[in-house]
Amino acid sequence: MAGIINYQKELEKTIKSFNGMKPSLLLHACCAPCSSYVLEYLADYFDITLFYYNPNITYKDEYEKRVQELKNLVKLMKLDIRIIEGKYEPERFFQMAKGLEKLAEGGERCFKCYELRLNEAAILARQMDFDYFTTTLSISPMKNAEKLNEIGERLAVQYGVKYLFSDFKKKNGYKRSIELSREYNLYRQDYCGCVYSKMQREEEKRLKMCNEAVQGATNRCKTDA
């Protein structure tokens, strides 16, 4: 699929082609907040099974907190949706990330992480004979939808399972996920999950606090003068 692609339009065309049928979809889920809007949007069009597989989440308590919140969300939304919890294997992520530890979030390390998770979803989708597979990841402004769909398309060919093109942040999807997170009082983390994204976010918060402190001191000096 060459050129600039509007993946939201691709999704809409795919849904329109169903003519009222509800194909099965294995939806890789990274967390409850990101899943909220995606489930709200897709539940009318697909027979959804959620697949929670996130070896990038470094800390076990964080991993368990997120999967429990995903289960809570499904209950709160009153959806008849099965959740498959994949293996917690952070060693696979660290092996994949070797040599890429110092890269900023959004770069090659993240792309390899996308593929690690989508590959596992594609394998399961083939094994369980799903019509489609996709991921909630594209709802985040921090995630590269073009790269996600490029990887998904390649894996679809490799495993013989259709990939559902999407860019869930479109049509105010990200904004809606924030609204739903507030409505359902969901735990909303401020980093992707790996220790590298956590370190980057903590450094960004530290710099922001320092800048605010400097700005506050400057303003006080101006007032005193």
Domain that holds residue 106: 7-190
Residue 51 lies in a domain: yes
Residue 206 lies in a domain: no
For residue 222, is pLDDT > 70? no
Res 223: pLDDT: 55
- Put simply, whether the predicted model's pTM sits higher than 0.85 gets the answer yes
pLDDT tens digits for range 17-52? 999 899 999 999 999 999 999 999 999 999 999 999
Residue 210 lies in a domain: no
pLDDT tens digits for range 85-123? 999 999 999 999 999 988 888 899 999 999 999 999 999
| Residue 47: CATH number of its domain | 3.40.50.620
Residue 89 lies in a domain: yes
Query: What is the DSSP secondary-structure string of 133-160?
Result: EEESGGGSTTS-HHHHHHHHHHHHHHHT
Residue 35 lies in a domain: yes
For residue 14, is pLDDT > 80? yes
Query: What is the DSSP secondary-structure string of 77-99?
Result: TT---EEEE----HHHHHHHTTT
Residue 48 lies in a domain: yes
Res 3: pLDDT: 64
**Residue that wins the pLDDT comparison between 191 and 26:** 26
**What's the CA gap between 225 and 219, in Å, rounded?**
10
